[in-house]
Amino acid sequence: MKPIEQTVPARFYRSPSQVMRLTRMGCSHPTRLSFLRQLLRRLKKENWSFDRPVWQINRQGVGHAVYRAQGPERCYSLVAFAHDLPEEMRSDRVIATAWDATFTLFDGTPSTADIERLERNVPLQEAGRISAKELSLSRANRSVRLFEYVVKELAQGRQPERSRLEQTGYLMRTTAVYGTGKFGAADRSTLVNRPEMQAPFQAEMLSVWLTRAFTVDLVEHLAAEQGGVQAVKLDPTLRRLLGVGNSTGLGMAPFLVRHPVLIHHWFAAREEALARVRSQPKLAPATLDQFCEALREAQENAVQWQSEHPLQVAKLTELREGLRQLQAFVHEEWDTAQIYPWDVLWQWGERKLPIEAQEALLALLLEPHGELVDDLGDQMAIDEEVTFKVDGRQSIGELRKHLHSHFAWALGTDYQQPEQCARFWYVSEEKLEPRLGERHCEAGAEREQPLDIGRQVAELCDLLKEWSERIPVAHLLLLRPEFRSIVRRVQLSAHYPFAEIQDNLISAEMLPIDLLRSKLAFFGATRFDPRSDRWVRISLFQGEPYPDELNHADVS
């Protein structure tokens, strides 16, 4: 696949050096190109149907259920197992060994034998083994306070308080969602010809969306068991307030570094969308109305968005204040009759708003422009195999030119300074959890993962000083094969300018949650709530329709 082509004048684009910095990536907001939004649009457009053919859950809430999504050509089934988890075993950490519920997304409709096989394996998660018939493996824990409260209220015939639902935002939070190619699950290559699986992480998003339906069914089931005839179901309006929580740590950070070409496509698609909107010469009144409605919703969301972590508290303050300024400008100063009115608004935002609010503005600008930008969702996936290559003919001089053109951000740093190489990424023996160590006071740096891209580039730059301009790269790699990976990245940078995070990922100052937020925003996550600088809770599908509502809902 060719890199995404820029279709509008260059002045409407942001540069990779502006976009790919951690401080900005750590302010990312979900957009209409986010993967869960793409999923819902497709399911609605293609008129998918949903049912729950199996519900074998007992009075204690233990058992299994199957949720089926039937599309035009294929169906997928979430097989959910509900467990009786002792309080002392409940942990969101990857090193946990038991959970309130475990799940797999089955390719088709599972037979009784399939369910029996899955029942022996899925509850074990990483210690079990699934098969090529499955597309994901995940688990979730209850939000204990909210889950029990909602069951109790419904059992007594009352609806839960809206404010308590808003405060937590979910009944269960997933603590890991493994996708294709993990623990025996189907290889991603087997899905490439399925249109519904073209966009990134669609199997995982479908799994989480059906999990959300399961969490509500489970509280209603337990309420009915406890309250008998007086029990009521959750009001659909209140139900919408609930998403699926997700608690995640460093595990998802390395992905952004290990898939440079894929990441380029995510960011390039989003930036292309922004440029298309900015380059619109005129503004239609209906589009303006939709923008104002999206801004109002964003302000409401910013008020409901709670966090106690100091980093996020500061960002939320900036977001709320920035959105207030934006609203004032839109209603009082913005001349919508000017040529390129959206660009005028964007440029005002870049001058006046903090980064947190600038990135929110980006999401808001895309919101009323579905017809203009939604096709870019198709360009957010890539067959990485074809880019796994090195051009051995390229001269050292040419390589050096690319290195200085695209990696200037990496070359001004002295990686010998303790603070510039303070951290090292590694994989722990404990359930293969990715972790971040302190190089100067912690053991294990000799087993470092190669995520130190900036430092590798600087080492390559030093090496190239010893080589003559005209020699082909093939000769360099014959003698110094350890530089192959970084040479490939430098060569790729010429075609994929958004492939690299332009910051030192082993610096003492680096905040891993910036990486997490960026990736989670592409998923479509909201309510980003850090619990530390490397651990975060978010919500998925909050405010979106449930399967039984999809056909009548607005999922633009």
Partner 1 sequence: MQMSPENQQVLEDCCPSIELWFAQSELQQLVVKAARGAGYCWSDAEEIGWAAAWLSKFGLPGGDFMLSLMQSNDLQAPRPATRCWKGNNHPLCPLRCGLALMDFAQLPEGLGASSLVIESVMGLPCLLPFAARTARQIQHPLQIQWEEQSLFLNQDAQPSLEINQVSMEFGKTVDVRITRSNSNMVSIETKNPQYCVGVSKQILEQLEAFAHQTLVPASDLSRLRAGGHDDPTS
**Residues 386-425, interacting with partner 1 (CB under 8 A):** 386, 388-390, 392-393
Q: 50 - beta bridge partners?
A: 69
Residue type, position 538, single letter: I
306 binds partner 1 (CB under 8 A): no
Residue choice 372, 415, 531, 553 for contact with partner 1 (CB under 8 A)? 531
Report, in Å, the least distance between residue 533 CB and partner 1: 7
List the 243-248 sheet strands across, edge first: 49-57, 63-70, 75-82, 101-107, 134-142, 170-178, 243-248, 535-540, 526-532
**Residues 76-115, interacting with partner 1 (CB under 8 A):** 87, 90-93, 95
Report, in Å, the least distance between residue 290 CB and partner 1: 36
CA distances from 281 to 254, 270, 275, 293 (A): 40, 20, 12, 22
Residues in the chain: 556
**Cα–Cα dist 135/431, whole Å:** 21
Cβ atoms of 137 and 130 within 8 Å: the answer is: yes
Cβ atoms of 29 and 369 within 8 Å: the answer is: no
**Cα–Cα dist 322/362, whole Å:** 13
**Residues 118-177, interacting with partner 1 (CB under 8 A):** 120-121, 124, 127-132, 141, 143-145
Task: Report the residue number, 10 or 443, with the smaller CB distance to partner 1.
Answer: 443
Closest C-alpha among 182, 376, 183, 200 to residue 191: 200
Q: Torsion-angle region of residue 340: left (phi > 0), alpha (psi -120 to 50) or beta?
A: left
Residue choice 235, 300, 442, 549 for contact with partner 1 (CB under 8 A)? 442
Cβ atoms of 377 and 269 within 8 Å: the answer is: yes
Residue choice 76, 147, 334, 426 for contact with partner 1 (CB under 8 A)? 426
Q: 529 - beta bridge partners?
A: 537
74 binds partner 1 (CB under 8 A): no
Residue choice 433, 494, 510, 511 for contact with partner 1 (CB under 8 A)? 433
Residue choice 5, 332, 333, 429 for contact with partner 1 (CB under 8 A)? 429
Report, in Å, the least distance between residue 431 CB and partner 1: 9
Three-state SS at 179: coil
Task: Report the residue number, 453 or 550, with the smaller CB distance to partner 1.
Answer: 453
Q: Which residue has the tokens 């890539």?
A: 382
Report, in Å, the least distance between residue 66 CB and partner 1: 19
**Residues 448-487, interacting with partner 1 (CB under 8 A):** 450, 472-474, 477-478, 481-486
Site map (CB under 8 A) of partner 1, residues 323-352, x = contact: ------------------------------
363 half-sphere exposure, CB direction, 13 A CA radius: 26
Report, in Å, the least distance between residue 461 CB and partner 1: 17
Task: Report the residue number, 360 or 381, with the smaller CB distance to partner 1.
Answer: 381
If you ran DSSP here, which 8-state letter would residue 354 be given? -
Report, in Å, the least distance between residue 394 CB and partner 1: 10
**Cα–Cα dist 357/153, whole Å:** 38
Cβ atoms of 515 and 253 within 8 Å: the answer is: yes
Residue 337 burial (CB count, 10 A): 8
Report, in Å, the least distance between residue 502 CB and partner 1: 21
Q: Where are the alpha helices (DSSP H) in 429-472?
A: 453-464
37 binds partner 1 (CB under 8 A): no
Residue choice 207, 247, 280, 504 for contact with partner 1 (CB under 8 A)? 247
Report, in Å, the least distance between residue 473 CB and partner 1: 7
Site map (CB under 8 A) of partner 1, residues 171-200, x = contact: ---------xxxxxxxxxxx----------
**Cα–Cα dist 274/32, whole Å:** 11
Closest C-alpha among 212, 221, 69 to residue 138: 212
**Residues 489-518, interacting with partner 1 (CB under 8 A):** 512
137 half-sphere exposure, CB direction, 13 A CA radius: 24
Task: Report the residue number, 419 or 482, with the smaller CB distance to partner 1.
Answer: 482
Report, in Å, the least distance between residue 258 CB and partner 1: 10
257 binds partner 1 (CB under 8 A): no
Residue choice 438, 462, 509, 548 for contact with partner 1 (CB under 8 A)? 438
Site map (CB under 8 A) of partner 1, residues 201-230, x = contact: ------------------------------
Report, in Å, the least distance between residue 466 CB and partner 1: 19
Tokens of 83: 């467990």
Task: Report the residue number, 364 or 399, with the smaller CB distance to partner 1.
Answer: 399
Report, in Å, the least distance between residue 173 CB and partner 1: 10
